Amino acid sequence: MKIALMMENSQAAKNPVILNELEAVALPLDHSVFNVGMNGENDHHLTYIHLGIMAGILLNAKAVDFVFTGCGTGQGAMMSSNAHDGVFCGYCIDPSDAFLFNQVNNGNALALPFAKGFGWGAELNARYIFEKALTGERGAGYPVERREPQVQNASILTQVKSALVNRSYVESLKNLDQELVKTAVSGERFQACLFDHGQDQDIIDYVKSLLA
C-alpha cells in the first residue's frame, strides 16, 4: 500500500517525529510512505485547506491508497479532506478510533490532532494509531451483529458523495482558486509522488499545467 503523510504549518516541527513513527510501522509491512506535506517550519507554507486539496489529488489520481493528515486539532484537516470527491476521512485521537474506522467506515484517510492532547507519550499513541490503521481486516463491520448494515452504509455513502459532486475531479479543482491549488501542489515531494505513481493522466496533466 502507498501511504501519504501530510502536515501543515502549525505542526510542521513535529513532522520528523510523526514520520518516524509511521515508517516504523509501515515499512516492515512493505508499505511505501510519502512525506508530501511540510517537513519543518522552513518548508513551503501549507494550511489544512491545502492538505485537503493534496489528499484529493493523490487519492483520485491513485498515486496513494491511504492518507494520514492532520493539524492542531485534526478537525480542519478532516473537514478540508472530506470536501473532496473520493476522499473519506475519519477523525482519530486514539488507536481504537483507527480500528473502528477500518472496520466500520473503511475510508481512505485519517486526520489526527497534532497539538491538542499531544503530550507525554504522544509519539507512542501515534505509533499505535498507525498500527491499528494499517493492520487487520478492513470493512468487516463491528460489532459482529452490526456487520451487514455497516458494510452496506459505507457503500451507500460512496454513492451519495459521487452523486452530489456530479462532475469530474479535474473540473472540481478548476472551480477553486487556482493560486490556492497551485500552492497545494508546489512541493517537490508531493509532485514526485503524484508524477511517479499517479494513474489518472487528466489529473497529472492538470497539475503540470498549473506548474508550467
C-alpha cell at 142: 463491528
pLDDT in tens, 22-55: 999 999 999 999 999 999 988 999 999 999 999 9
Please name which of 169, 198, 186 lies closest in space to residue 86, comparing C-alpha atoms: 169
Q: Are 142 and 170 in contact (CB under 8 A)?
A: no
Grid cell at residue 190: 508531493
Determine the CATH number of domain 2-211: 3.40.1400.10
| 24 vs 132: CA distance, rounded Å | 13
- Nearest 5°: the CA angle 170, 49, 61 is 35
For residue range 141-164, list pLDDT tens digits in order: 777 777 787 778 878 887 887 777
3 state SS for 157-182: HHHHHHHHHCCCHHHHHHCCCHHHHH
CA gyration radius, the chain = 16
The residue with greater pLDDT, 145 or 1, is: 1
What tens digit of pLDDT does each residue of 86-139 get? 999 999 999 999 999 999 999 999 999 999 999 999 999 999 999 999 998 888
